[in-house]
Amino acid sequence: MLCSFTLLHFAKIFLKKMEEKKEKNEFYVIQKLYDYIMWITPLINRLPRDKKFGIGDRLLNKLYDIMELLLIARYEKNNRQKVLKEANIKLEMSRMYQRLIIDEKLWNLSRFEFASKSINEVGALIGSWIKNINQDK
């Protein structure tokens, strides 16, 4: 009897720690995106006027949209997978805007590499969040 109680107790502790880990990961992706937005905003503001108010605004608006969607997904459990997929699509759009910026030679290669790594990391974190949702079902 004591043994089954102990196993049940450890199982509850394990599940609680897994839930805490998921919450930390959810916050981590939001924090990574926030940091990226803080890094990229001054770069967008330094673009030539026509690019700043064209492609720069589009890129920043997509990033803000992704941030909003991640916050919604964190608190709204019913539509979480749908919201994260929408965030993933907007993330792909922001990748294309970044490519346009580098193709027009508005950034140097090192900035583009950092931007790409940051966006890819956010994408991987969103992907693992979606994967965790699918495993929970």
- Size of the chain, expressed as the number of residues it contains: 137
What is the residue-averaged pLDDT of the chain?
85
> Could you please report the per-residue DSSP string of 67-129?
HHHHHHHHH--TTHHHHHHHHHHHHHHHHHHHHHHHHTT-S-HHHHHHHHHHHHHHHHHHHHH
| Whole-number percent of the chain with pLDDT over 90 | 63
* pLDDT score for 1: 46
Q: What is the pLDDT of residue 103?
A: 92
Residue 99 is predicted with a pLDDT of 93
- Both tokens assigned to 55: 């492609």
B/e letters for 46-84, b = 16+ CB within 10 Å, e = fewer, are ebeeebbeebbebbbebbebbbebbeebbeeeeebeebb
Tokens of 89: 């699509």
pLDDT-derived band of residue 134, with 50, 70 and 90 as boundaries?
confident
Indicate the domain borders of the chain. Answer: 26-136
**What pLDDT score does 36 carry?**
96
Fold of the domain spanning 26-136: de novo design (two linked rop proteins) (1.20.1440)
Residues 1-49 have pLDDT tens digits of 445 556 555 555 545 554 555 556 678 999 999 999 999 999 999 999 9
Give the pLDDT confidence score for residue 17 in this predicted structure.
Answer: 53
**Residue 135 confidence class, pLDDT cut points 50, 70, 90:** confident
Mean pLDDT of 64-87: 93
Residue keyed to tokens 């290669």: 109
Backbone φ, ψ for residue 76 (5° rounding): -105, 100
